[in-house]
Structure 1
Amino acid sequence: MANEQAAVSNYTEDNIRSLDWKEHIRLRPGMYIGKLGDGAAMDDGIYVLVKEIIDNSIDEHMMGNGKVINVKVTDHRVEVRDFGRGIPLGKVIDCVSKINTGGKYDSNAFQKSVGLNGVGTKAVNALSDYFKVQSFREGRTKMAEFHQGELTNDPPETTTTERNGTLTIFEPDGTVFKNFHFIPQYLDNLLWNYAFLNAGLTINFNGVKYYSENGLLDLLNRKTNEEELRYPIIHLKGEDIEIALTHNNQYGEEYYSFVNGQYTTQGGTHLAAFREALVKTVREFYKKDFDASDVRTSIVGAIAVRVQEPVFESQTKTKLGSQSVGPEGPTMRTFINDFVKKYLDDFLHSHPSVAEALQKRIIQSERERKEIAGIKKLANDRAKKANLHNKKLRDCRIHFDDLKNERRDDSMIFITEGDSASGSITKSRDVQTQAVFSLRGKPLNCYSLTKKIVYENEEFNLLQHALNIEDGLEGLRYRKIIISTDADVDGMHIRLLMLTFFLQFFPDLVRNGHVYILETPLFRVRNKKETIYCYSDEERQQAINKLGSKPEITRFKGLGEISPEEFGKFIGEDMRLEPIILKKETKIPQLLEFFMGKNTPDRQIFIIDNLKIEKDLVEEVVIED
């Protein structure tokens, strides 16, 4: 009791500390930009920083100001120049360094903007080692420079001959985003989405032009292979809404959803309404009560809406929470349902060949679902029993589908082969966020097989249940799925087999940036004072040059050779992951056919042309102490 009274008496006004804006952002960056990361994932913080700056330029374009945005990104530096109105010169510093300051609070100026609360640019400023903003207006210009949110240079206004607009330059803070690097493909997707959603906008990115005339139609043309489509893409536009959809032959559902030009990677009320309206309209058109999953299986769809005062579920704006399209507008559900019911129904009536092809695709999905219903039930029953004592899965405590846990984005699962490798990872992992799934030998090559094999093959079925992806990605239990194999021929083969499984049956896992390859060091170079782990021959040579005097060099041939104590260093804060990224020109069926299909002459020629005979880099050199 005495201790409690002492604690209360010691809790005075002196214990209360008010953080200024930049201190709060730097102390709690996740509140403003989501997770941090090093750039290996598409939703890592450094891409959110880029997006926050470009969003401001997009909002200017939406208001009819500026048709060109120039973007330049190098390894650690980002430059964005728009040709909008430019920030009012007297407010240049305030707009990037004072919370709750910005033009978006004036709803007349930004009726349907991406921006939410005037925090984005300030967060970029606070989390940058170097930040510069410069506004050009009517022959005058004002510039300011910052370091971690602190104003370092505030020169007076000067005259200029440059066109109106705003220039923003920043370099993310390496102490916050450790070992970060920008992956060009992620930026490529980000900028294409801006182009698709903003007719007449040109984005110049590192010298490449991004421009779209047909909006979501262009997007789906880019994301699909014309030869795989069951019918031509349906493209419908209305006031404040645009949709595009088609069906192909792959498994799952694939959607791209946008609000006010913002790519909502986690969907939200608009996507839920679209999925519901699609099923309802199709049932009414064909006058048949199709199962919803049969209507949506193999769909590729996109929806974009523009709403007033959008409400997102986080500062990173990846999921829409708005229930209506504006303060006095209809509900989101009613707005989208009315549009889809009228325009899609009219389209199907006026395009009977498309209506017939769509019906055939639905009936095919219905037949395939019924064919595997029996074995699916048996397999799921087996999986439920196995989950109680699943020797293949060593689970963690925090999962991606636990929406209330602030560490959900840290959850990951390592897919390993063999007891020695899984043993090392299991002993050194973080049991809070890192799970391990052990394969037994090489998995089955499932190329060209139907989804029935997922239930017939016990290992695939147990993995599907461990990930919780049988009915889509909504319940995905791990943010990152990490294939962890030896860096030898057998290990590479296992990687290909696992990627074939994911691309064949769960391609959305790859598209949405959930699948990675674990990179582990090939060499350990050390002397009595220092140990350096090297991931390439180039790094090995650099380590030898650094340590000098004939250091001890060990070549790791497999994961099992790395002790648990050492392994912990490679799956912790400095873990290196290589994301599996589908490039815009990648077509999954052709990719799988080429690498995993029958041994074709084309593949033989490819192997011969790219074959490199690797002499032993270094087997093992031991220097006696």
Structure 2
Amino acid sequence: MSVGYSEDSIKTLEWQEHIRKRPGMYIGKLGDGSQPDDGIYILLKEVVDNSIDEFMMGNGKRIDIQLNEKTVSIRDYGRGIPQGKLIDVASKMNTGAKYDSKVFKKSVGLNGVGIKAVNALSNQFIIKSIREGLVREAEFAGGIIVNDKQYPANGEANGTYVQFTPDEAVFGQYSFQDEYIETMIRNYTYLNTNLTISFNGKEYISKNGLLDLLNENITTEPLYPIIHLKGEDIEVAITHGVGYGEDYYTFVNGQHTTQGGTHLTAFREAYVKTIREFYKKDFDPSDIRTSIIAAISIKVEDPVFESQTKTKLGSKDMGPNGPSVKQFITDFIKEKLDNFLHRNSETAQILLQKIIESEKERKAISGIKKIARERAKKASLHNRKLRDCRIHYNSKDDRAHESTLFITEGDSASGSITKSRDVNTQAVFSLRGKPLNTYGLTKKIVYENEEFNLLQAALDIEEDMENLRYNKIVIATDADVDGMHIRLLLITFFLQFFPELIRQEHLFILQTPLFRVRNKKKTVYCYTPEEKEKAIAELGPNPEITRFKGLGEISPDEFKNFIGPDMRLDLVRLTKEDQIHDLLEFYMGKNTPDRQDFIINNLRIEEDIIDEEPAPKADENNIDEEGNLDDENKNLVA
């Protein structure tokens, strides 16, 4: 019997219903606040963007942000929204001042959707306009208005106030992480010099723009002082570090375009062209850009982004009557960078030496690279290490941001993940035992070592990050000493050769449960001893308790619970305080006596951790020449 298809089958959703039913169309993923691109931070950004646009138009020099558990408030001191349109701005789709480019010439938000998404996805949303001695205040719940009032301002300064609480009915259990909000705020201040943003009473301000950004984010000593170039609608900061990879911070109209776009492509090409012309030599682009650290910010009229979350610029032109983005950036870099290098011969000499060294290394391993590429090409036809997925990060698919590669140890663990994964978005790469410690080695090892070469090919990052095939690279190892060691070896590999993967927040550690506590009615998976004790108390007397020693012990039916939408991931992050060279030298280098002393002085056995009694000292005879524990002492916990 066929299902009837009539006028009754056609549904028209109210604006707020559509946003709540399809939130991913408006804010990307939902998340629980544990990752910086989770939806609750997109809501905050949508509100702050409006205040930033006011500042960019010369109105208000301060923004106050307050976070009280799950409620956020944002107060700016601009002109205030025209009060007759306050409710329309908050609840009527395709309504906003940003359609008038005379009022908001180079704004981030142009489609009139952002603030409505915040409204619809909040269980409480309050918006106030303080203007001309009056306050108009509207309150909504899930996008539906519940209160509208007007009262005297009593001397309060003009501006706009927004308060919202993301709806747990949409987002589930979530929590804001201060550090992610602080990073967002710092980026706003770098791009809007002399704007003060206060977050829970702490003030942030930048006087030197992108120069401050690089100075505060570089984790290694730059080879030469940062080159800082500014022009109308463009600002650039450039230097080189040591090691490999390319590291970029890109922005459009104050929006952090984490996935780059046409402006980044144009900058990379313009930089190579300018360097070649300055030195009058046809250097290879990879030699010129290896270990570059750069930030670029441009302002574009009516920018076109490739998604509502605005992380990748699609615009090809600077504006309706302006030059192309490529031509604009090329002309600027060619003039300003060329002039700078002519005036700063010492920097020019350091840069030349860096390029020559990169060229020597590339040529030294060119033969090995050719063999490795052929090997990877053959392996890709039947790569037993990689069980690929269908949707990749570099595709146009709506679910591209979900693409994930799990790096596992051994056949049993990879078998469990492979059987329980989402074949559309989750791939598995299986390691054979412990990978090589790559600290202090050159990139030659990436091509000589078959496993690393196949991993590089799977990620498709040999040339650059543009073709990265997975948004999340997840290290999935056992929660024991060997698993921790493999974890460290892989992080060392990425830090050594592909640090931009970590800087751009693509590398994660998978958390898997340590215990399963169950009775006949309920099963609880516990990630910590504290969670285990709580579960025992909840389930009552004599529950069955299982301690998982390895991923291979978890059945595929169970494993799907741990790699689904609610999987727990720890982001591998780099901050200015993390000096890569020093970290790797101490933990992964050949400094045996220092590390041996550290292990001896910090070892504690499990019982002593629980009882909080002094830990026994490890016997020096049980530590090998590399400063690692022998097999008998692997039950000790550092």
Superposition TM-score tier, normalisation by shorter sequence: over 0.9
Is 1:569 the counterpart of 2:570? The answer is: no
Change in CA separation of 1:74 and 1:389 when aligned onto 2, cut-off 3 Å:
farther
Is 1:425 the counterpart of 2:425? The answer is: no
Give the aligned partner of residue 358 of structure 2. Answer: 365
Give the aligned partner of residue 580 of structure 2. Answer: 588
3-state SS of 1:154 partner: strand
Give the aligned partner of residue 252 of structure 1. Answer: 245
Change in CA separation of 1:608 and 1:206 when aligned onto 2, cut-off 3 Å:
farther
Is 1:79 the counterpart of 2:109? The answer is: no
CA–CA distance in structure 2, aligned partners of residues 496 and 426 of structure 1? 23
In the TM superposition, residue 496 of structure 1 has moved relative to its aligned partner by: 0.7
Change in CA separation of 1:451 and 1:563 when aligned onto 2, cut-off 3 Å:
same
Change in CA separation of 1:183 and 1:582 when aligned onto 2, cut-off 3 Å:
farther
Change in CA separation of 1:122 and 1:347 when aligned onto 2, cut-off 3 Å:
same
* Normalised TM-score (structure 1): 0.94
Is 1:24 the counterpart of 2:18? The answer is: yes
CA contact (8 A) 2:130 2:153 kept: no
In the TM superposition, residue 158 of structure 1 has moved relative to its aligned partner by: 4.0
Change in CA separation of 1:153 and 1:609 when aligned onto 2, cut-off 3 Å:
farther
CA contact (8 A) 2:217 2:575 kept: no
Q: Structure 1, residues 315-358: CA drift from partner, whole Å, max 9, x if none?
A: 21111222222221222222111111111111111111111111
Give the aligned partner of residue 412 of structure 1. Answer: 404
In the TM superposition, residue 226 of structure 1 has moved relative to its aligned partner by: 5.9
3-state SS of 1:94 partner: helix
Write the letter of the residue equivalent to 1:257: T
In the TM superposition, residue 207 of structure 1 has moved relative to its aligned partner by: 2.9
CA contact (8 A) 2:220 2:580 kept: no
Correspondence list, 1:351-500, <5 A: 351-403=344-396, 405-500=397-492
1:271 to 264, 267, 290: 264
CA–CA distance in structure 2, aligned partners of residues 419 and 615 of structure 1? 33
Unaligned runs of 5+ in 1: 619-625
Correspondence list, 1:135-174, <5 A: 135-174=129-168
Give the aligned partner of residue 176 of structure 1. Answer: 170
In the TM superposition, residue 123 of structure 1 has moved relative to its aligned partner by: 0.7
Give the aligned partner of residue 262 of structure 1. Answer: 255
Unaligned runs of 5+ in 2: 611-638
CA contact (8 A) 1:469 1:475 kept: yes
CA–CA distance in structure 2, aligned partners of residues 388 and 311 of structure 1? 38
Write the letter of the residue equivalent to 1:476: L
CA contact (8 A) 2:274 2:338 kept: yes
In the TM superposition, residue 604 of structure 1 has moved relative to its aligned partner by: 5.2
CA contact (8 A) 2:218 2:576 kept: no
Structure 1 window deviating more from structure 2 (261-270 vs 584-593): it is 584-593
In the TM superposition, residue 517 of structure 1 has moved relative to its aligned partner by: 0.8
CA–CA distance in structure 1, aligned partners of residues 120 and 238 of structure 2? 41
Write the letter of the residue equivalent to 2:337: L
1:321 to 314, 320, 325: 314
3-state SS of 2:607 partner: coil
Write the letter of the residue equivalent to 1:104: K
CA–CA distance in structure 1, aligned partners of residues 374 and 62 of structure 2? 57
Give the aligned partner of residue 119 of structure 1. Answer: 113
Give the aligned partner of residue 301 of structure 2. Answer: 308
Write the letter of the residue equivalent to 2:336: Y
In the TM superposition, residue 609 of structure 1 has moved relative to its aligned partner by: 6.3
Write the letter of the residue equivalent to 1:379: A
Write the letter of the residue equivalent to 2:557: E
3-state SS of 2:238 partner: strand
Structure 1 window deviating more from structure 2 (535-544 vs 590-599): it is 590-599
Write the letter of the residue equivalent to 1:300: I
Give the aligned partner of residue 292 of structure 1. Answer: 285
Give the aligned partner of residue 224 of structure 1. Answer: 218
Change in CA separation of 1:422 and 1:226 when aligned onto 2, cut-off 3 Å:
closer
Give structure 1 regions of 4+ aligned residues with deviation exceeding 6 angstroms. Answer: none
In the TM superposition, residue 606 of structure 1 has moved relative to its aligned partner by: 5.2
Change in CA separation of 1:189 and 1:609 when aligned onto 2, cut-off 3 Å:
farther
CA–CA distance in structure 2, aligned partners of residues 154 and 282 of structure 1? 60
CA contact (8 A) 1:258 1:305 kept: yes
3-state SS of 2:339 partner: helix
3-state SS of 2:136 partner: strand
Change in CA separation of 1:191 and 1:611 when aligned onto 2, cut-off 3 Å:
farther
Give the aligned partner of residue 505 of structure 1. Answer: 497
CA contact (8 A) 1:136 1:160 kept: no
CA–CA distance in structure 1, aligned partners of residues 413 and 453 of structure 2? 22
Write the letter of the residue equivalent to 1:496: L
Write the letter of the residue equivalent to 1:520: T
3-state SS of 2:465 partner: coil
Q: Structure 1, residues 209-234: CA drift from partner, whole Å, max 9, x if none?
A: 2111110111111122463x221110
Write the letter of the residue equivalent to 2:9: N
Give the aligned partner of residue 622 of structure 1. Answer: none
CA contact (8 A) 1:141 1:160 kept: no
Give the aligned partner of residue 343 of structure 2. Answer: 350
CA–CA distance in structure 2, aligned partners of residues 164 and 613 of structure 1? 61
Write the letter of the residue equivalent to 1:178: G
In the TM superposition, residue 460 of structure 1 has moved relative to its aligned partner by: 0.7
CA–CA distance in structure 1, aligned partners of residues 97 and 51 of structure 2? 12
CA contact (8 A) 1:420 1:560 kept: yes
Write the letter of the residue equivalent to 1:332: V
Change in CA separation of 1:608 and 1:113 when aligned onto 2, cut-off 3 Å:
farther
CA–CA distance in structure 2, aligned partners of residues 490 and 178 of structure 1? 35
* Normalised TM-score (structure 2): 0.92
Structure 1 window deviating more from structure 2 (210-219 vs 174-183): it is 174-183
Structure 1 window deviating more from structure 2 (439-448 vs 150-159): it is 150-159
CA contact (8 A) 2:194 2:207 kept: yes
1:519 to 511, 517, 520: 511
In the TM superposition, residue 605 of structure 1 has moved relative to its aligned partner by: 5.9
The count of residues paired between Structure 1 and Structure 2 equals 610
CA–CA distance in structure 2, aligned partners of residues 457 and 372 of structure 1? 13
CA–CA distance in structure 2, aligned partners of residues 225 and 579 of structure 1? 17
Structure 1 window deviating more from structure 2 (183-192 vs 467-476): it is 183-192
CA contact (8 A) 1:185 1:581 kept: no
CA contact (8 A) 1:537 1:617 kept: no
Give the aligned partner of residue 240 of structure 1. Answer: 233
In the TM superposition, residue 46 of structure 1 has moved relative to its aligned partner by: 1.9
Q: Percent sequence identity over matched residues?
A: 65
CA–CA distance in structure 1, aligned partners of residues 588 and 537 of structure 2? 42
Change in CA separation of 1:158 and 1:611 when aligned onto 2, cut-off 3 Å:
farther
CA RMSD of aligned residues (A): 2.0
CA–CA distance in structure 1, aligned partners of residues 178 and 444 of structure 2? 37
Write the letter of the residue equivalent to 1:66: G
CA contact (8 A) 1:136 1:142 kept: yes
Q: Structure 1, residues 60-105: CA drift from partner, whole Å, max 9, x if none?
A: 1111111111122354322212121222222222111111111212
In the TM superposition, residue 600 of structure 1 has moved relative to its aligned partner by: 5.6
3-state SS of 2:447 partner: helix
3-state SS of 1:460 partner: helix
CA contact (8 A) 2:134 2:150 kept: no
In the TM superposition, residue 297 of structure 1 has moved relative to its aligned partner by: 1.2
CA contact (8 A) 2:219 2:577 kept: no
2:548 to 545, 553, 556: 556
CA–CA distance in structure 2, aligned partners of residues 185 and 511 of structure 1? 15
1:545 to 537, 540, 551: 537
Change in CA separation of 1:307 and 1:399 when aligned onto 2, cut-off 3 Å:
closer
3-state SS of 2:487 partner: helix
Give the aligned partner of residue 282 of structure 1. Answer: 275
Write the letter of the residue equivalent to 1:51: K
Write the letter of the residue equivalent to 1:268: G
Change in CA separation of 1:612 and 1:63 when aligned onto 2, cut-off 3 Å:
farther
CA contact (8 A) 1:398 1:411 kept: yes
CA contact (8 A) 2:402 2:425 kept: yes
CA–CA distance in structure 2, aligned partners of residues 236 and 172 of structure 1? 40
3-state SS of 2:493 partner: helix
Structure 1 window deviating more from structure 2 (34-43 vs 93-102): it is 34-43
